[in-house]
A and B are shown apart, each in its own frame.
Chain A
């Protein structure tokens, strides 16, 4: 990767253009009162097609994707994105469908949604799904609306609180707040699991439900889930399953069987659709049979991210019943293998079998000595970039100060893991010898560490013509 400093606006030259339109009506005057028109044309780049192609190709070369290399970003499930999925999603017949067409003229698209609904229901143990949510957090919000609608439909209006474990993804409390629910936090115990004794006194007639991530963000299976489900259902609440960590359970455990009433899936995690630099995702919400009447909650304009759903269905069909049971198990195998190989150099706060991911709490020997600060998790993450890896998720979950969360996924080979393990050991050795190497990392990325403080204090959020 090399540094490239242009913005497309800086390539602009008046009179140049990159479009090709027929001339019919190209100079027709607009039949509008000038008072309804803008005074000046917008400032947009005036560049040729080749300028555009080269510019964005250069930008892409400063980026790291799953196709570039190993991407062990915890809780993000950066598995390989199969290429056949892209071809399916680009079929012109699907791309040309208008969302308001009569159902009789979109039978193919409806079949895609019906199949995906049926197969996801089988995989998760839910009854039916809505595909409106466009991402995981959007699924959480939609699912919580369904949860509230259920209570309201029963005239049970006092259930205004939702229980969220302290290890939960930040989106859980944020989604609950947007949904008008009050958050009650439940603490984790020393084993990193929801503390059932802490949970019990929180339950009552004001509890709408609990949001659980299982395995949780430490990668640990909440093995008391049966008791938790009984307790929450016993007090009249519902169980919401955050599907962000569904990958290790793919083909192995079904949320519906564990007693969950509502869940979302991140198709861009568990079902292999590309993350696109932060979307588009898809967060379909599934419900148990008694909540099917509430699936109509409308949280996006049309039918959700259909193009993403197409990719996910292609993936499920490739897996089929012969391979699906291996997906979760291999993800779990890969994670446990890394954990066991690196625990001699990185602090493992909770010694337990993990699922798809696990969390270290920084280096065992960070190289700190008199007058010299030790290497932090941030330093380790930045040094990894030098060796051609994406960094793990850092400083999350909040339970540990130096959290380093590693999720390899099932699509990485033993050789890839062994190389990564060797580099992580090398970085640990470097830290012990001289943490300054790590403090200054990355040394060979397109840029070095940026000044984030100034960026926030004096925000420059758009390009301005300096001439």
Chain B
């Protein structure tokens, strides 16, 4: 047959193999399929493309859209991606391996996951991290399930209304089908309200609460009193965090949170139209056995050398089936490597600078935007790299002007505000150009 580059069998190979099996054609190997289900005609797919045609096809699609400078966050942050990261993560020994079930030939994967777990623990201050889940939203949903699993007999989880919209959406979806009751903590002045939390706790059925570290308005939350109020009711505090910001902000452990979750995308993962990203989950040691997903542990091999294995697997679906802590199997391992290499390069000083530069740029933009007279402040609350303003002009026209000038900025929020974000990728000159376009 005419060779296809991914299929190595020659016509002669196929004939010999069929002979060995004792059949005359490959269709004979489908003798157990009722004939009516065997698809006889050609599938209605495009003609096979050459590699060059495929490349051209995608380059044409990629060229359809303007290249915009991104000044929006809202859960996906345009931080700089050092050249080393894709170089390492595209090494085929990492890229083309499967889950490290055969630990003797998977020490590379197991070691970077162990390093990743350590970094997540050090950023959050918590004791135990898993090997990753799909994204920040699903991490929050898993944390909701963990709260109920840890609490026993209590079935309500509280959500701050200041959480990102997509996080609220996914948690609500999971809760609906899992039969978990949700209740909401109001935001006052752009911040999650402690009074509202306390009022909700009076129901006596609260297993935990999920509150943001930096919220949907970009405001850095002050969680004084939250853990105390929740713990007094035997409920858990879950913090939804931007892990990049955790390099400078008070940690979940310092707030006495029990679980921290969020999206690792801000740690050097490209925007890529929303994925792949990586959800992180960390918790206090007491809740370790309720944590979903894979966990890597250190041990020794038969010669006493340090070695790493998947451990505490009695929590997982391939052992426990319907009694597992979660259904998760494949996670986002390669994106965890992405984060691990990023944090290795940046170190504590690099992470400080990323936050300093992003924050300074954001505060500069905030002042410049107010000077245009086209916006009003909404909240008087501290922010880091992201903020909202009230527009005094037509937002659609504003967004069009910005787009024409090469910017994605002024994201319209559900509340009618516009949201901006600045990262270390953008300098003063670019911010001035953005303001000029307004």
The answer to whether A35 touches B118 (Cβ under 8 A) is no
Q: Which of A29, A179, A334 has the most CB of B within 10 A?
A: A179
Q: Can you list 16 A-B pairs, Cβ within 8 angstroms, ordered by A? A: A19-B349, A28-B360, A36-B220, A41-B349, A73-B101, A108-B62, A134-B275, A145-B177, A254-B37, A254-B39, A257-B37, A279-B331, A298-B166, A323-B7, A412-B8, A462-B129
The answer to whether A21 touches B270 (Cβ under 8 A) is no
Which residues of B sit under 8 angstroms from A305, Cβ to Cβ? 275-276
> Given that A31-B363, A310-B58, A324-B45 are known contacts, is A301 also in contact with B167, CB under 8 Å in the complex?
yes
Q: Give the contact stretch, choosing among B181-189, B293-301, B368-376.
A: B293-301
**Chain A, 93-138, CB within 8 A of any chain B CB:** 93-102, 105-109, 111-112, 119, 122-123, 134-138
Which residues of A sit under 8 angstroms from B127, Cβ to Cβ? 461-462
Q: 8 new A-B pairs (CB below 8 Å) besides A173-B317, A178-B145, A454-B299?
A: A42-B351, A68-B96, A122-B45, A278-B294, A320-B47, A390-B98, A413-B13, A461-B127
The answer to whether B327 touches A17 (Cβ under 8 A) is no
The answer to whether B96 touches A275 (Cβ under 8 A) is yes
Which residues of B sit under 8 angstroms from A64, Cβ to Cβ? 93, 97, 102, 105-106
> Given that A100-B76, A277-B337 are known contacts, is A63 also in contact with B106, CB under 8 Å in the complex?
yes
Which residues of B sit under 8 angstroms from A43, Cβ to Cβ? 122, 348
Q: Mark B1-45, 1 if CB is under 8 A from A, else 0.
A: 100111111000110111011110011011111101111001111
Closest chain A residue, CB of each to CB of B99: A278
Our pick among A279, A298, A307 for the contact of B173 (Cβ within 8 Å) is A298
B207 contacts partner chain A, Cβ-Cβ < 8 Å: no
The answer to whether B98 touches A78 (Cβ under 8 A) is yes
Closest chain B residue, CB of each to CB of A84: B51
Which residues of A sit under 8 angstroms from B312, Cβ to Cβ? 456, 459
Our pick among A39, A71, A442 for the contact of B254 (Cβ within 8 Å) is A39
Task: State in angstroms the CA–CA spacing of A251 and B26 once bound together.
Answer: 13
The answer to whether A318 touches B301 (Cβ under 8 A) is no
A293 contacts partner chain B, Cβ-Cβ < 8 Å: no
CB distance from B98 to the nearest CB of A (A): 4
Which residues of B sit under 8 angstroms from A459, Cβ to Cβ? 128, 288, 295, 297, 311-312
- The secondary structure that dominates the A interface is loop
The answer to whether B108 touches A60 (Cβ under 8 A) is yes
The answer to whether B169 touches A61 (Cβ under 8 A) is no
Our pick among B65, B95, B98, B174 for the contact of A108 (Cβ within 8 Å) is B65
Which residues of A sit under 8 angstroms from B357, Cβ to Cβ? 21-22, 24-26, 28
Q: Mark B86-113, 1 if CB is under 8 A from A, else 0.
A: 1110111111111111111111110110
Task: State in angstroms the CA–CA spacing of A416 and B417 once bound together.
Answer: 61
B115 contacts partner chain A, Cβ-Cβ < 8 Å: yes
> Given that A66-B96, A307-B276 are known contacts, is A320 also in contact with B384, CB under 8 Å in the complex?
no
The answer to whether A46 touches B39 (Cβ under 8 A) is no
Which residues of B sit under 8 angstroms from A88, Cβ to Cβ? 54-55, 58
CB distance from B4 to the nearest CB of A (A): 5
B332 contacts partner chain A, Cβ-Cβ < 8 Å: yes
> Given that A67-B92, A98-B78 are known contacts, is A302 also in contact with B356, CB under 8 Å in the complex?
no
B329 contacts partner chain A, Cβ-Cβ < 8 Å: yes
B204 contacts partner chain A, Cβ-Cβ < 8 Å: no
> Given that A36-B220, A36-B250, A174-B324 are known contacts, is A63 also in contact with B94, CB under 8 Å in the complex?
yes
CB distance from B383 to the nearest CB of A (A): 8
Task: State in angstroms the CA–CA spacing of A347 and B136 once bound together.
Answer: 46
CB distance from B115 to the nearest CB of A (A): 5
Task: State in angstroms the CA–CA spacing of A408 and B295 once bound together.
Answer: 28
> Given that A76-B98, A303-B274 are known contacts, is A49 also in contact with B345, CB under 8 Å in the complex?
yes
3 tightest A-B contacts by CB? A320-B48, A302-B274, A99-B274
Count residues on chain B whose CB falls below 8 Å from chain A CBs: 204
Q: Mark B259-291, 1 if CB is under 8 A from A, else 0.
A: 000010000001111111110000000001000
Which residues of A sit under 8 angstroms from B170, Cβ to Cβ? 298-301
The answer to whether B326 touches A178 (Cβ under 8 A) is yes
The answer to whether A31 touches B72 (Cβ under 8 A) is no
The answer to whether B13 touches A277 (Cβ under 8 A) is no
A153 contacts partner chain B, Cβ-Cβ < 8 Å: no
The answer to whether A137 touches B327 (Cβ under 8 A) is yes
CB distance from A73 to the nearest CB of B (A): 6
> Given that A25-B360, A30-B384, A451-B301 are known contacts, is A306 also in contact with B96, CB under 8 Å in the complex?
no
The answer to whether A141 touches B327 (Cβ under 8 A) is yes
Task: State in angstroms the CA–CA spacing of A321 and B49 once bound together.
Answer: 10
Task: State in angstroms the CA–CA spacing of A341 and B299 once bound together.
Answer: 39
A460 contacts partner chain B, Cβ-Cβ < 8 Å: yes
Count of A-B residue pairs with CB < 8 Å: 677
The answer to whether A277 touches B104 (Cβ under 8 A) is no
A265 contacts partner chain B, Cβ-Cβ < 8 Å: no
> Given that A253-B38, A278-B100 are known contacts, is A326 also in contact with B297, CB under 8 Å in the complex?
no
The answer to whether A413 touches B179 (Cβ under 8 A) is no
Which residues of B sit under 8 angstroms from A241, Cβ to Cβ? none
Which residues of A sit under 8 angstroms from B263, Cβ to Cβ? 301
A148 contacts partner chain B, Cβ-Cβ < 8 Å: yes
Task: State in angstroms the CA–CA spacing of A79 and B74 once bound together.
Answer: 37
Task: State in angstroms the CA–CA spacing of A318 and B57 once bound together.
Answer: 11
Our pick among B47, B178, B316, B326 for the contact of A321 (Cβ within 8 Å) is B47
A231 contacts partner chain B, Cβ-Cβ < 8 Å: no
Task: State in angstroms the CA–CA spacing of A302 and B117 once bound together.
Answer: 25
Which residues of A sit under 8 angstroms from B106, Cβ to Cβ? 62-64, 277
**Chain A interface residue bracket vs B:** 35 or more
A180 contacts partner chain B, Cβ-Cβ < 8 Å: yes
The answer to whether A299 touches B288 (Cβ under 8 A) is no
The answer to whether B298 touches A460 (Cβ under 8 A) is yes
The answer to whether B275 touches A221 (Cβ under 8 A) is no
Which residues of A sit under 8 angstroms from B403, Cβ to Cβ? 102, 105
A209 contacts partner chain B, Cβ-Cβ < 8 Å: no
Closest chain B residue, CB of each to CB of A79: B6
The answer to whether B84 touches A53 (Cβ under 8 A) is yes
Task: State in angstroms the CA–CA spacing of A136 and B278 once bound together.
Answer: 16
Q: Mark A312-326, 1 if CB is under 8 A from B, else 0.
A: 001011111111111
Our pick among A82, A322, A355, A460 for the contact of B297 (Cβ within 8 Å) is A460
Our pick among B27, B104, B117 for the contact of A382 (Cβ within 8 Å) is B104
Our pick among A53, A177, A340 for the contact of B323 (Cβ within 8 Å) is A177
Task: State in angstroms the CA–CA spacing of A109 and B273 once bound together.
Answer: 8
Our pick among B14, B92, B107, B337 for the contact of A62 (Cβ within 8 Å) is B107
The answer to whether B335 touches A303 (Cβ under 8 A) is no
Closest chain B residue, CB of each to CB of A78: B98
Task: State in angstroms the CA–CA spacing of A319 and B48 once bound together.
Answer: 5
Task: State in angstroms the CA–CA spacing of A467 and B356 once bound together.
Answer: 30
Q: Give the contact stretch, choosing among B150-158, B192-200, B241-249.
A: B241-249
Q: Mark A142-159, 1 if CB is under 8 A from B, else 0.
A: 001100100000000000
The answer to whether B322 touches A177 (Cβ under 8 A) is yes
Our pick among A119, A279, A462 for the contact of B132 (Cβ within 8 Å) is A279
The answer to whether A306 touches B346 (Cβ under 8 A) is no
The answer to whether A24 touches B427 (Cβ under 8 A) is yes
Which residues of B sit under 8 angstroms from A78, Cβ to Cβ? 98
Our pick among B118, B169, B408 for the contact of A463 (Cβ within 8 Å) is B118
Which residues of A sit under 8 angstroms from B399, Cβ to Cβ? 102
Q: Mark A76-87, 1 if CB is under 8 A from B, else 0.
A: 101111101011
The answer to whether B305 touches A5 (Cβ under 8 A) is yes
**Chain A, 409-464, CB within 8 A of any chain B CB:** 410-414, 416, 442, 445-452, 454-456, 459-463
The answer to whether B274 touches A301 (Cβ under 8 A) is yes
Task: State in angstroms the CA–CA spacing of A119 and B48 once bound together.
Answer: 13
Task: State in angstroms the CA–CA spacing of A337 and B403 once bound together.
Answer: 58
> Given that A178-B145, A278-B109 are known contacts, is A340 also in contact with B33, CB under 8 Å in the complex?
no
CB distance from A32 to the nearest CB of B (A): 5
Q: Which of B13, B70, B272, B355 has the most CB of A within 10 A?
A: B272
Task: State in angstroms the CA–CA spacing of A84 and B53 once bound together.
Answer: 11
Task: State in angstroms the CA–CA spacing of A88 and B272 once bound together.
Answer: 12
The answer to whether A93 touches B97 (Cβ under 8 A) is no
A199 contacts partner chain B, Cβ-Cβ < 8 Å: no
